[in-house]
Structure 1
Amino acid sequence: MARFVDRAVLHLQAGNGGHGCASVHREKYKPLGGPDGGNGGNGGDVTLIVDSNVHTLLDFHFRPHAKAGNGRPGQGDNKDGANGDGLELKVPSGTVVRTAAGQVLADLVGTGSRYVAAKGGRGGLGNAALSSRARKAPGFALLGEPGESAEVVLELKSVADVGLVGFPSAGKSSLVSVLSAARPKIADYPFTTLEPNLGVVTAGAEVFTVADVPGLIPGASQGKGLGLEFLRHIERCSVLVHVIDCATYESGRDPMSDIMALEFELAEYGAGLATDLTSKPRLVVLNKIDVPEARELAEFVRPDLEAAGYPVFAISAATHEGLAELKFAMAQTVAADRAARPAAVAPRIVVRPKPVDSEEFQVAVDPEVDGGFVVTGARPERWIRQTDFDNEEAVGYLADRLARLGVEEQLAALGAEAGAPVTIAGVTFDWEPTTLAGVDTVPTARGTDERISRTDRVGAAERKAMHRLRRGLDVEGHTLDRGMADGSES
């Protein structure tokens, strides 16, 4: 049996970008072929798109994990890698996308509406794209960026013109079945309707949709009964219709008290919404007048309800009595609400491009590391992810980029000293300003950088000298006077 699911949690993973290729063209009689490594392909996006043929989130209930394709790595001979396959997830109209914390990311209404929930990583540049006057044949390439991972909550809010509200077994499902071609499950026990039922109604020239949602009981706004599972589906309705059971045998129930209880729950729930539910037009339907006692009660309470400002309709879903008047009254109210809305005007499109890689960054003192610093910013963090730290030339290229961006200048201004730990995107370095990052360097063997190699050699020589000094030996290995080795005067 088909199930209706109106809430689902998705775990999404966009595709990773492909790595760039470090290659040199090799051909007979062409000794200086130059770099020819291609770029990596971009990772695929995970996109949510509204499809008119989808009416539930059932598929995501059973398959909550989704992953897009990875980009392919670049190859030699200037061959770029293929982009990863994007993944489109079809959702029904009225789907709200939230974070796990409840923040609204997107409200998807209307066929074709789309939202990129997880962005694929960009492919890394090959060494052909990295060649310059200073680096004519780079011995490295950039790594592809990892794709975004996201956990989103999908909530479906029914998109209908008329919402039927009432206590369980008030006859809402029966009313939908006689007004439209919908065939909801109907039975005489509480909470027969466990999922919204939508029906299309035609009254003259007006065509509108009616939603029958699970029954409402006192305390629903705090989650009692079906609670919020019910109330979420009436937020988008233009007109609310109170369906009152005039034939109920429950003690303490009467039409006026039922309406007051329903209105209280609507007001409590609507207090936290941008849309005011209390301002929506109301109709009151006194149902089951085919029962003699119910007809008498309906005639008795009608004057009081009309005095309160409610349009009242006494009907019987079983015998179809009063349905024509109700149908055209619904159509008239829906038409008036549509006419009162602002006319749809073609929006003026204002293009404000969002910078992909802002040059803004911040350098701050690391509160967790003594004498350390933390660098944050879109560009430096992306550059860290793109760097192959097993390649000296790639590390030197990273140092040049950070220096040109101004990171070293700000570190010096904050009082950073040589050897200070600097953390960028979770990677910690020992800052060495003596590497002269950002200046033209003498080309060395592919995959190496003289500045880094020299720094490593100097560091190794210093460690060796200190080790000899602690052992009481001079540079030539001869024994020193113990007092001199300890640093005291002879």
Structure 2
Amino acid sequence: MTTFVDRVELHVAAGNGGHGCASVHREKFKPLGGPDGGNGGRGGDVILVVDQSVTTLLEYHHSPHRKATNGKPGEGGNRSGKDGSDLVLPVPDGTVVLDAKGNVLADLVGEGTTYIAAQGGRGGLGNAALASARRKAPGFALLGVPGQTGDIILELKTVADVALVGYPSAGKSSLISVLSAAKPKIADYPFTTLVPNLGVVTAGATVYTIADVPGLIPGASQGKGLGLEFLRHVERCSVLVHVLDTATLESERDPLSDLDVIEAELKEYGGLDNRPRIVVLNKIDIPDGQDLADMVRPDLEARGYRVLEVSAVSRQGLKELSFALAEIVAQARAAKPKEEATRIVIRPKAVDDAGFTVTLEEDGLYRVRGEKPERWVRQTDFSNDEAVGYLADRLNRLGVEEQLMKAGARAGDGVAIGSEDDAVVFDWEPTMNAGAEMLGRRGEDHRFEEPRPAAQRRRDRDAERDDADREYDEFNPF
């Protein structure tokens, strides 16, 4: 038996980017053939896509952990790593994607609608891509960026034009079975219907879908019974149909009180006040049912409801009901604003947007946050001095060092790049390029240069240090 599941928590993890390769081309009689390390491959994305053949989230209830494949590392000979494969997860039409805090991330309606739930990490550059006129043979490569991970919640809200609401055993499933080709389970005891049933109805030139929303009883909006589990399926419907039982065997119930109870639950749930209503008095094939329908109809019409009398058994009034619903659905569709053509919105970067922030925390730690600095840190192999120097150069060109000086940072102060959970912390040394003698001039391979005398190297080092001191004094006059 297929179980209906309309809410699951999904743990998604995109693929990690492959590491770049640091390699030098070697050939007979050419010991220094230049860098030929390839780039790492991109990690695979986790993508949700609407598939009309999928009607439940049951698959993800049993297997909530989903991960895309990682990108392959680069190789020598300028061979780039293979990209990771995207993981495509089919979901039912009407699936809402929320984050762990309940914020809506996406509302997936319509065949083929997609949403990237987790984006794969980009691959690291190999040393061939990092080579330049100044950096002829980098002895390092960039690491791949980890893919996004996180928890998301999938909620299914049935996409239907008409919602049948009412007490259990009011005859909602019977109406769907005779109005459409749907074959729901039908019996004469409460809570026969444990899942929303969908049917397609054709009335003239209008084709619309109709849904049976089960489990509405007093207290449903507060979680009593099954109502709270399925009230969300009413939200997308254009018209609400109150199915009232005129042949109920319970002495304490009558059609008017049933209507008041269901309306109270819908109001408590919220967001449904603007939906048109129709009242259907069902089971008029029973003599007492017809008598009760004649008694309550004037009161219902006095309240402003459009009232129709039907019988799912004798098929009485079904044609009038199907065309009345078709009329309201057509009006609702015509009233919807037409979807505008896709527009390209260009949001230029602000002239004063540095792309990162520097803040001084209470413990005296300077924290740097920004997409580029954090990504660069994740791509750096800190066991390679040349790679660390390359990171320092990139941060300096971005203006991080300048902003640290303006924020009041001094030599030896703690600096953290990244969030509290995943940060690189180090003691800051101003104008770091002055202290990089052991790295050479960051990424330059002296095997391609004429050797400099030791005295010349000392003079150049002293000049770089003096320039750094002057730059630091300009930003820190005291």
TM-score (normalised: structure 1) = 0.86
- Report the Cα offset of residue 359 of structure 1: 4.3
For 1:209-358, list aligned pairs within 5 A: 209-270=209-270, 276-342=271-337, 344-352=338-346
Q: Measure, in 1, the Cα distance between the counterparts of 2:142 and 2:225.
A: 56
Tell me if the contact between 2:136 and 2:445 (Cα under 8 Å) persists in the aligned partners. no
Q: Measure, in 1, the Cα distance between the counterparts of 2:230 and 2:339.
A: 33
Q: Measure, in 2, the Cα distance between the counterparts of 1:354 and 1:152.
A: 31
- Report the Cα offset of residue 445 of structure 1: 6.9
The reply on whether 1:427 has 2:427 as its aligned counterpart is: no
- Percent of aligned pairs with the same amino acid: 66
Q: Which residue of 2 aligns with 1:378?
A: 371
Q: Measure, in 2, the Cα distance between the counterparts of 1:434 and 1:346.
A: 53
Q: Which residue of 1 aligns with 2:167?
A: 167
Which runs of no fewer than 5 residues in structure 1 stay unpaired? 271-275, 455-490
Q: Which residue of 2 aligns with 1:398?
A: 391
The one-letter code of the counterpart of 2:215 is G
Secondary structure (helix, strand or coil) at the match of 1:411 reads: helix
- Report the Cα offset of residue 25 of structure 1: 0.7
Q: Measure, in 1, the Cα distance between the counterparts of 2:397 and 2:335.
A: 58
Secondary structure (helix, strand or coil) at the match of 2:176 reads: helix
The reply on whether 1:414 has 2:407 as its aligned counterpart is: yes
Q: Which residue of 2 aligns with 1:459?
A: none
- Report the Cα offset of residue 381 of structure 1: 0.6
Quick one: structure 1 residues 288 and 437, their matched pair in 2 at CA, closer, same or farther if it must change by over 3 Å? farther
Quick one: structure 1 residues 164 and 337, their matched pair in 2 at CA, closer, same or farther if it must change by over 3 Å? same
Q: Measure, in 2, the Cα distance between the counterparts of 1:436 and 1:335.
A: 71
Q: Which residue of 2 aligns with 1:135?
A: 135
359-368 or 79-88, which deviates more? 359-368
Secondary structure (helix, strand or coil) at the match of 1:261 reads: helix
Which runs of no fewer than 5 residues in structure 2 stay unpaired? 448-456, 462-478
After superposition, the C-alpha distances for 1:105-145 in whole angstroms (9 at most, x for unaligned) are 00000001000000000000000111123321000000000
Secondary structure (helix, strand or coil) at the match of 2:18 reads: coil
The one-letter code of the counterpart of 1:40 is G
TM-score (normalised: structure 2) = 0.88
Secondary structure (helix, strand or coil) at the match of 2:290 reads: helix
Q: Measure, in 2, the Cα distance between the counterparts of 1:97 and 1:397.
A: 40
The one-letter code of the counterpart of 1:259 is L
- Report the Cα offset of residue 268 of structure 1: 1.6
Secondary structure (helix, strand or coil) at the match of 1:279 reads: coil
Query: What root-mean-square deviation, in Å, do the aligned CA atoms of Structure 1 and Structure 2 show?
Result: 2.1
- Report the Cα offset of residue 249 of structure 1: 2.2
Length, aligned pairs only: 439
The one-letter code of the counterpart of 1:350 is I
Q: Measure, in 1, the Cα distance between the counterparts of 2:260 and 2:324.
A: 22
User: Radius of gyration: which is bigger?
Assistant: 1
The one-letter code of the counterpart of 2:284 is I
The one-letter code of the counterpart of 1:300 is M
Tell me if the contact between 2:50 and 2:93 (Cα under 8 Å) persists in the aligned partners. yes
- Report the Cα offset of residue 285 of structure 1: 0.7
Q: Measure, in 1, the Cα distance between the counterparts of 2:239 and 2:434.
A: 67
Tell me if the contact between 2:166 and 2:172 (Cα under 8 Å) persists in the aligned partners. yes
- Report the Cα offset of residue 252 of structure 1: 2.8
Tell me if the contact between 1:172 and 1:243 (Cα under 8 Å) persists in the aligned partners. yes
Q: Measure, in 2, the Cα distance between the counterparts of 1:10 and 1:345.
A: 31
Q: Which residue of 2 aligns with 1:463?
A: none
168-177 or 333-342, which deviates more? 333-342
- Report the Cα offset of residue 435 of structure 1: 3.1
Tell me if the contact between 2:355 and 2:370 (Cα under 8 Å) persists in the aligned partners. yes
Q: Measure, in 1, the Cα distance between the counterparts of 2:401 and 2:328.
A: 68
Quick one: structure 1 residues 20 and 415, their matched pair in 2 at CA, closer, same or farther if it must change by over 3 Å? same
- Report the Cα offset of residue 32 of structure 1: 3.0
Q: Which residue of 2 aligns with 1:488?
A: none
Q: Which residue of 1 aligns with 2:471?
A: none
Q: Measure, in 1, the Cα distance between the counterparts of 2:76 and 2:123.
A: 15
Secondary structure (helix, strand or coil) at the match of 2:173 reads: helix
After superposition, the C-alpha distances for 1:153-208 in whole angstroms (9 at most, x for unaligned) are 00000011110000111110111111111111111222111110000111122211
After superposition, the C-alpha distances for 1:342-382 in whole angstroms (9 at most, x for unaligned) are 3x254251233698xx84111111323xx431111111111
